[in-house]
Amino acid sequence: MKFLWFHLMPYKELPPDFKEKHRSVWVDIPATLFDPKRAHVMYNEFLDELEYAAECGFDAICCNEHHANGYGLMPSPNLIATALARRTTDAAICVLGNSIALYNPPTRVAEEFAMIDCISGGRLIAGFPVGTPMDTTFAYATNPSQLRERYYEAHDLILRAWTEKDVFSFNGRFNQQRYVNVWPRPIQEPHPPIWIPGAGSVETWRWAAQMDYVFCYLSYYGYKMAQTVMKGFWEEMARLGKDRNPYRAGFAQMVGVAESRSQALDLYTEAAEYFYGRCLHVDPRFAVPPGYVTEATQRAGIESQVKAAAEGKAPTGPTATAGAARMQSLVRDMRGIVDNGYLIIGSPDEVVEQLNELATTLNVGQLMLLLQFGNMPSETTKYNTRLFAEKVIPKLRPLFSQWKNRWWPKSLAQHQRAAAAE
């Protein structure tokens, strides 16, 4: 089993009445709430925390891309990844990822990821998300009716740019380049492992399987709510004739570990309620721009709702109103957060038990841990990280040892590495 330490980099000082006074943490969050002097301290603490996680023995440290977002201060995750590449030696650098439809030309991603792979000595995991509607269509104004077409085309262009040995011309529908020639080239051959963050879209599962990529379900709602999606994913893999190698799948889970459950409640309640109460306050106006959800996924969602209504049950299929729409119906108090499984808390043994259940029921080998969330103080974050590394990881490590993780970076051997900077 692999353990990846994931930072969202939330702005930690949104006012207590944020949810009442403002419509959304995303897209139109007021710039006046951002204090760059405070962000100076936050960014440096966040980088310290990621480096600390690498020191504690996590297999990878992760960052991601958001725009105009009060809970994600990384418009450019590549800047963060590069800083981390310089300050760490063994942990994989997982960028989950670059929303490749947004880059003009998309070869910019091929270049920057190749730079990170070179600087880190081949430790990069390259994530290619479509991106949320809030980031892509509203903050970055990409046409929702073209987003997916642009995404697939950008992917094809980046892959060719990494793998073709000669300069070539790219005559795409949205991108035309006479001279494609990426310098530098990635260390990893033929290219860094590609992971696809996504949700319950059947097309995305099929495509990831066809390309032999890792599918990562990045949910804020915990493993109990993820059962249906991951069940659908594995059923689709079976239909496609793919094995059940758990390393095909990643999942993100928030965890707060302490000496006891009651101590965990003391330590993590404020941060969890900050995250669900203020950070996930997203205006549903930005939830589903037309065209963002494919018609096949809309159809599957409506059919499952119709079926569920006929049977008098809650819908179980992929829904056409994921993301921000779902955020409107979240529970925001600690009891609900824990009872619903958004957040796993407890003593090390209690956390081990729940994560064991998560890993085996979802069949997920690449486990992404959100051990910093909301306005958690840096000291608490480090405590959570250290305790998890010392008391939780060793007990879960042997899980899935019968499977080969074909999707992990192949970094340079120690003797090939640049001398460490002091």
Partner 1 sequence: METGATGMSEPATLTIDINGFATRVWRKGSGPPMGFLAGYGGLPKWIPFLDRLAEQRTVIVPSLPGFPGGDRGHTVLDTHLDWVLAVRDLVDKAGLAGADLIGSSVGGSFAAEVAAIWPDKVRRLALIAPFGLYDASNPAADPWAQRADELAALMTARPETYKALKEVPAGANSVEWPIEQTRAAEAAARIFWPLGNTRLERRLPLIKAPTLLLWGEQDHLLPRSYADAIAAAIGGETEVRIIPGAAHLAELDRPDEVAAVILGFLG
Binding site for partner 1 (CB under 8 A): 137-138, 141, 143-146, 173-174, 284-286, 289-291, 295, 298-299, 302-303, 306
Minimum CB separation from partner 1 for residue 25, in Å?
15
Q: Which neighbouring-strand residues pair with 69?
A: 26
- Between 19 and 285, CB nearer to partner 1: 285
At its nearest, how many Å lie between partner 1 and the CB of residue 286? 6
Q: Smallest Cα–Cα separation from 392: which of 122, 53, 64, 157? A: 53
Tokens of residue 402, six digits: 């019968």
Within the chain, how many helices (H) and strands (E) appear? 16, 11
Buried b (16+ CB within 10 A) or exposed e, 242-274: eeebbbbbbbbbbbbbbeeeeebbebbbebbbb
Shorter beta-carbon distance to partner 1: residue 143 or 263: 143
Task: Please state the closest distance from residue 332 (CB atom) to partner 1, in A.
Answer: 20
Q: Considering just the CA atoms, what is the radius of gyration of the chain in Å?
A: 21
Q: How far is the CB of 144 from partner 1 (least distance, A)?
A: 6
Q: How far apart are CA 131 and CA 113, in angstroms?
A: 17
Kindly give, in sequence order, each residue whose CB lies less than 8 Å from that of residue 207, ignoring residues fewer than 6 positions away.
152, 196
**Toward partner 1, which CB reaches closer, 120 or 175?**
175
Query: Is the Cβ of residue 142 or residue 384 nearer to partner 1 in the bound state?
Result: 142
Tell me how far, at minimum, the Cβ of 105 lies from partner 1, in Å: 17
Rounded to a whole number of angstroms, the minimum distance from the CB of residue 376 to partner 1 is 32
State which residue, 141 or 421, has the beta carbon closest to partner 1. 141
189 versus 303: smaller Cβ distance to partner 1: 303
Instruction: Compute the distance between CA of residue 69 and CA of residue 129 in angstroms, rounded to an integer.
Output: 17
- Cβ distance 110 to 181 under 8 Å? no
* Residue listed under structure tokens 């793998």: 163
CA 238 to chain centre: 25
Quick one: residue 169, left, alpha or beta (phi over 0 = left, psi -120 to 50 = alpha)? beta
Cross-strand pairs, 177:
170
- Closest approach of Cβ 288 to partner 1, in Å? 8
- 24/384 with CB nearer partner 1: 24
